Structures are given as C-alpha cells and as structure tokens.
Homo-oligomer: A and B are copies of this chain.
Amino acid sequence: MELAEAKKQFISSWGAFGTHWGINRTMAQIHALLMVSADPLTQDDVMEQLDVSRGNVNMNMRDLISWGLVDRVILSGERKEYFTAEKDIWKVATQIIKERKKRELDPMLKLLAQLENIEGDKKDKDVKQFVDTIGGIRKFGKQADQMLDMMIKADESWFLGGLLKIFK
C-alpha cells in the first residue's frame, strides 16, 4: 500500500472510530491527519486534504485545542497559523482521560452522591433497589476515578512494561 492510500484509510477509520465514542467525524479526522503529518499544517491544508469547509475546520480545530490534543504553532517569518498534534499516544490517551474525567465522571459522581440520600423507607424494596444500584455505581465510579488519576500521573513505560507483570 502507498503512503497516501494508507493515510486515507487511517483517517477514515479514526473518524468512524470517533463516532462510536461521541466524537464528531470531522474532529476525529482532523486529529488523525495531524497525528500522521510530519509537519504542522494550516487550515487550508486540512480543508484540502479532508475536503471540508473553512468554518468546519476552524471550529473543530478550536475544539481539539480545548481538549489539549492540538496546538497552534507560529512558524517564524510566516503570517499563517499552523497546527500540530501530540503524537505520543500515551500522552494523547492520558489527556483524553483527564478531560473526560473532568467533564463527565466528576459531575456524575457528584450527582450520585446526592441521589443516594433519598427520603423513604429503606425497607421498601423499590427504595432499597434504587439506593443499592446508585450506591454500587458510585462506589465503582470512585474507584475508577482514583485509578484514572493514577494513570494520568504514571508514565508510559509503567503501562507498557510494568503493569502486565503485576497482573499475573
């Protein structure tokens, strides 16, 4: 397979993959394109290579920056802005974990804590089932939260090397 063809396939698959995880296709594709590009790209480069509009690129690029996955780069002597993506996948993963935790897990845990304190007879089977389910989810969520915090602080070699031995 040629480089150009392989790039296309990767970008397309990364886009489809993203849609299964609540990320819009174009955003995932821009991310994929930047990850496999050796040099920073301009908005026009991205527009051309992915065949999408200027506004689309601009908005999704901003979103990627807010996720901490893409950076603006100013090349000296150049007027245009360039964009580049973190290519170390461990850093990408921990960054995504960090953001999703902040945006989704933490608020969910907050809500669950509130819901656990409902009024009503704990002997009632409906009340009991509710409290048990919410309690179980919350306990699990808290453990996950701690585990993810540790992943964020750890470094890649820990994940690649050490972890497996521990699990055996």
- Interface on A for B, CB 8 Å cutoff? 1-3, 6-7, 9-10, 13, 17, 19-22, 35-38, 87-90, 93, 100, 103-104, 108, 111, 114-115, 117-120, 125-130, 132-134, 136-137, 139-140, 143, 146-147, 150, 154, 159-160, 163-164, 166-167
Contact = CB atoms under 8 A, between A and B. Distances in A.
B3 A87 contact: no
B36 A2 contact: no
A150 B167 contact: yes
Contacts of A100: 20
A135 to B, nearest CB: 10
A118 B6 contact: yes
Given A38-B129, A128-B38, A130-B3, A87 B136 contact: yes
